[in-house]
Amino acid sequence: MAEVLFKGNKVHTSGKLPKVGARAPDFRLTRGDLVEVSLQDFAGKKKILSIVHSLDTGTCAASAKAFEARAAQLPGTVILTVSNDLPFAQKRFCEAENIHAVVPLSQMRDRKFGRDYGVEYLDGLLAGLLARTVVVIDENDRVVYTQQGPDTSQEPDYEAVLKAVRG
């Protein structure tokens, strides 16, 4: 269980982030066309999981835009933004913000993702949502990097993520 700050108050997550070197937990998430995808659907590619509460929050929206801006620098890498938002809302956000390289995924049908990755908030105003976290997974589905900021208002360290992807 991790502690992070939300507006100065401590909130707790459902567990620990996946360990670097471990096999990434599989998942069932929903794309904008309502089709379910799993980790295997991205086999052979590096994966950045940008996990956010909601694309309707300022910092989470900024994170999606920042990863979109960096996507061209990462050939062979898929950037997946995972949230509790419904696929319709994710699609509307991406269209409005001209986001095409980042793949939005929803855990609307299967909340197991948040628990398996240790990022579901257990208490506080955000209980049930996902903690802002980045997990980098290699082509063999091994976790190579994790990052969870101490405060929900902080954007990820994008340069550290890029470095982890490039190895």
Residue 15 belongs to what domain range?
3-166
Q: CA-based diameter of the chain, in Å?
A: 41
User: Which of 4, 60, 80, 143 is the catalytic position?
Assistant: 60
pLDDT reading at 149 higher than 90: no
Query: Known catalytic residue: 94?
Result: no
Q: Does residue 29 carry a pLDDT above 90?
A: yes
The tally of domains found in the chain comes to: 1
Q: What is the pLDDT of residue 85?
A: 96
Give ∠ CA 107-58-162 in degrees, rounded to 5: 75
d(CA 107, CA 160): 26
Instruction: Say how many C-beta atoms besides its own lie within 10 A of residue 143's C-beta.
Output: 22
What confidence tier does 150 reach under pLDDT thresholds 50, 70, 90? confident
Residue 32: CA count within 13 A, CB half-sphere: 15
Question: Which has more confidence, 109 or 149?
Answer: 109
**pLDDT tens figures, 33-69:** 999 999 999 999 999 999 999 999 888 989 999 999 9
Rg (CA), the chain: 14
The CATH number for 108's domain is 3.40.30.10
Residue of 123, 143, 142, 141 whose CA lies nearest to 133: 143
Confidence of residue 9 (pLDDT cuts 50, 70, 90): confident
SS3 category, 30:
strand
